[in-house]
Chain A
């Protein structure tokens, strides 16, 4: 060893063994959030709780979407499709035969489906698995061929899902959608899923697998030449993202209790695209921050769609859909002038936080 001292220092910095402090701090932060949720559950009104639920669902969606778009660098436009898959398949599983009978008034529910009724958790997991299954099915041919087919194929898939949901009367109840889905989703479920998603994806991204995904993003030629099977890793990232998006869809269905094909248009994907671009493509921290800001912001922006009174002189009539225009402008502006987004590709770390405090010790942490 030429440089024993330097070696020891580098070894120390990068070792996985001294991450205990960070783990304790992270656990503390999670517990704090749980405490806040407990209070929210007790004292917040219905509207506030709904926003908190949506924040958690958007965090789940944005972080998973960023895994394939930002971390792996494969531009895709799929979330609405996988959310729809998760929402429909879980809702159909939790509905009792009687509820199905009340919903399917035009055509009766398909016999193989009519009698099925399972508890919420298995239904949610099944929703995720359905999405992951279709991701594998799509990813297999798409990742085999070179080029940017993923965006087009996923965009098309979203439309196909919608058309199928509209026309498969005996399974999805067509344009009528499903009503009276049991409202199982509460803050614990949505935030529980958000934490599990964050935990799994952060662990994956910080592992050797995450390095491989980033290598594929930065230089696929080099990654493959160094023995990384880019096909398999793209499939992994894509189906994992789909899995969590499907589960988020299940949460959504049991939160709003009424779903129809109309709900899963491209707008959902568009919103998520804004979130991950604003947060920083490739930064999970950025996705979390942007998901919170976006959900909150879009509630505040409801004001622009309502009539506004200016000093009592005259009234500006509310313009429905104005929020979407504003979001589109924000996205274009961010793409043009602020490509890095809030976080670029940087991530939050406890070491960074301590570095901010004067006298705090700077320590590399993951």
Chain B
């Protein structure tokens, strides 16, 4: 029984087929990497899995035993089902504090109706306290505790990436999608990030699908890799197999050659 299964997922933008017949089967507890050259369609896959865009065709089932269909659900509904994501180009709330950025991710689960805080009902106050406590604990994990009052927009790049990860965690997902979490990080930060990902995967019993260009990072971290090129899945398998795969090498070399020109 799979946690997530997509079949024949296709996304066309006008004449461009950004993702073509994408099949994905994620088992609970897996850590899978989605790689491929620029423009391969990786982010588009994430956008379809999270309800951001509606696929041209194909199906996505979450919890295959319960047959939860994701197609057509709005992003907030998908998130409430247990799929959280981070973004390739960071999407924080720059003018709100670090703590508020995490607490905001709690809101979708809030039980109190809007009049509860207005009348100061104890049930709401308990929820708010739990929210603060939980958010601080999460921030402590990623060493942002001393920055809780800082505006998120003023954080360093690596800190913003970590904040996005804990914000996604605050929605209590079972599946976490990370879009280039190590982009723009130095080798030290990248190492810390690898440790963090393994840690949270363990502690929150997560299944993780991640996109990353840093090969060392991907090969060191992922149990299984899927390679996209021009929207087509060209290879799938263990990191060592992918490393030796001719087609993959050509796809990446092709890109490098294109970049050289």
A307 to B93 Cα, complex, angstroms: 52
Tell me the nearest residue of chain A to B113, going by C-beta: A209
Nearest CB on A from B205, distance (A): 19
**Could you say which residues of chain B place their CB within 8 Å of the CB of A14?**
99, 132, 136, 148
**Could you say which residues of chain B place their CB within 8 Å of the CB of A214?**
93, 96, 100
Contact indicator A208/B131 (Cβ below 8 Å): yes
A209 to B118 Cα, complex, angstroms: 10
Contact indicator B118/A11 (Cβ below 8 Å): no
Tell me the nearest residue of chain A to B95, going by C-beta: A218
**Contacts A203-B117, A207-B128, A215-B104 given; does A224 touch B74 at CB 8 Å:** yes
Interface magnitude class on chain B? 35 or more
- The residue that A208 contacts in the complex, of B74, B106, B170, with Cβ under 8 A, is B106
- The residue that B118 contacts in the complex, of A204, A222, A228, with Cβ under 8 A, is A204
Report A1-15 CB contacts with B as 1/0, cut-off 8 Å: 111001100110111
A window 12-57: CB within 8 A of B: 13-16
A3 to B96 Cα, complex, angstroms: 23
Report B125-142 CB contacts with A as 1/0, cut-off 8 Å: 101110111001100100
Asked if B171 is at the interface of the complex by the 8 Å CB criterion, the answer is yes
Tell me the nearest residue of chain A to B141, going by C-beta: A2
Nearest CB on B from A286, distance (A): 15
**Could you say which residues of chain B place their CB within 8 Å of the CB of A345?**
95
A32 to B114 Cα, complex, angstroms: 30
B window 90-123: CB within 8 A of A: 91-96, 99-100, 103-110, 112, 114, 117-118, 120
Asked if A328 is at the interface of the complex by the 8 Å CB criterion, the answer is no
Report A340-366 CB contacts with B as 1/0, cut-off 8 Å: 000001000000000000000000100
Asked if A219 is at the interface of the complex by the 8 Å CB criterion, the answer is yes
- The residue that A211 contacts in the complex, of B96, B109, B118, with Cβ under 8 A, is B96
Asked if B84 is at the interface of the complex by the 8 Å CB criterion, the answer is yes
**Contacts A214-B93, A219-B93, A229-B108 given; does A6 touch B146 at CB 8 Å:** yes
**Could you say which residues of chain B place their CB within 8 Å of the CB of A221?**
52, 87, 91
Interface size on A, residues (CB 8 A): 38
Asked if A106 is at the interface of the complex by the 8 Å CB criterion, the answer is no
Asked if A285 is at the interface of the complex by the 8 Å CB criterion, the answer is no
Asked if B67 is at the interface of the complex by the 8 Å CB criterion, the answer is no
Nearest CB on B from A71, distance (A): 12
Contact indicator B136/A11 (Cβ below 8 Å): yes
**Contacts A14-B132, A219-B92 given; does A203 touch B103 at CB 8 Å:** no
**Contacts A16-B125, A218-B94 given; does A225 touch B79 at CB 8 Å:** yes
**Could you say which residues of chain B place their CB within 8 Å of the CB of A222?**
87, 91-93
Contact indicator B117/A208 (Cβ below 8 Å): yes
Tell me the nearest residue of chain B to A13, going by C-beta: B149
A212 to B132 Cα, complex, angstroms: 15
Nearest CB on A from B149, distance (A): 7
Contact indicator B80/A11 (Cβ below 8 Å): no
Contact indicator A228/B85 (Cβ below 8 Å): no
- The residue that B133 contacts in the complex, of A11, A208, A223, with Cβ under 8 A, is A11
- The residue that B93 contacts in the complex, of A199, A208, A215, with Cβ under 8 A, is A215
Asked if B76 is at the interface of the complex by the 8 Å CB criterion, the answer is yes
**Could you say which residues of chain A place their CB within 8 Å of the CB of B103?**
208, 211
Contact indicator B114/A204 (Cβ below 8 Å): yes
**Could you say which residues of chain A place their CB within 8 Å of the CB of B128?**
16, 207-208
Report A223-234 CB contacts with B as 1/0, cut-off 8 Å: 111111110000
Contact indicator A7/B140 (Cβ below 8 Å): yes
Contact indicator B52/A225 (Cβ below 8 Å): yes
**Could you say which residues of chain B place their CB within 8 Å of the CB of A215?**
93, 96, 104, 107
Asked if B124 is at the interface of the complex by the 8 Å CB criterion, the answer is yes
Contact indicator B125/A224 (Cβ below 8 Å): no
**Could you say which residues of chain A place their CB within 8 Å of the CB of B140?**
1-3, 6-7
Asked if B182 is at the interface of the complex by the 8 Å CB criterion, the answer is no
A2 to B142 Cα, complex, angstroms: 10
A223 to B167 Cα, complex, angstroms: 11
Asked if B168 is at the interface of the complex by the 8 Å CB criterion, the answer is yes
A-B contact pairs, 20 of them (CB 8 A): A1-B137, A2-B140, A2-B143, A10-B136, A10-B148, A16-B129, A204-B118, A208-B110, A208-B127, A211-B107, A214-B100, A215-B107, A218-B94, A221-B91, A227-B80, A228-B76, A228-B104, A228-B108, A229-B108, A364-B149
Interface residues of B (CB under 8 A from A): 50, 52, 74-76, 79-80, 84-85, 87, 91-96, 99-100, 103-110, 112, 114, 117-118, 120, 124-125, 127-129, 131-133, 136-137, 140, 143, 145-146, 148-149, 167-168, 170-171
In the complex, the 9 A-B pairs of residues with the closest C-beta atoms, listed nearest first = A227-B108, A207-B117, A227-B79, A222-B91, A218-B93, A224-B75, A226-B105, A203-B118, A212-B107
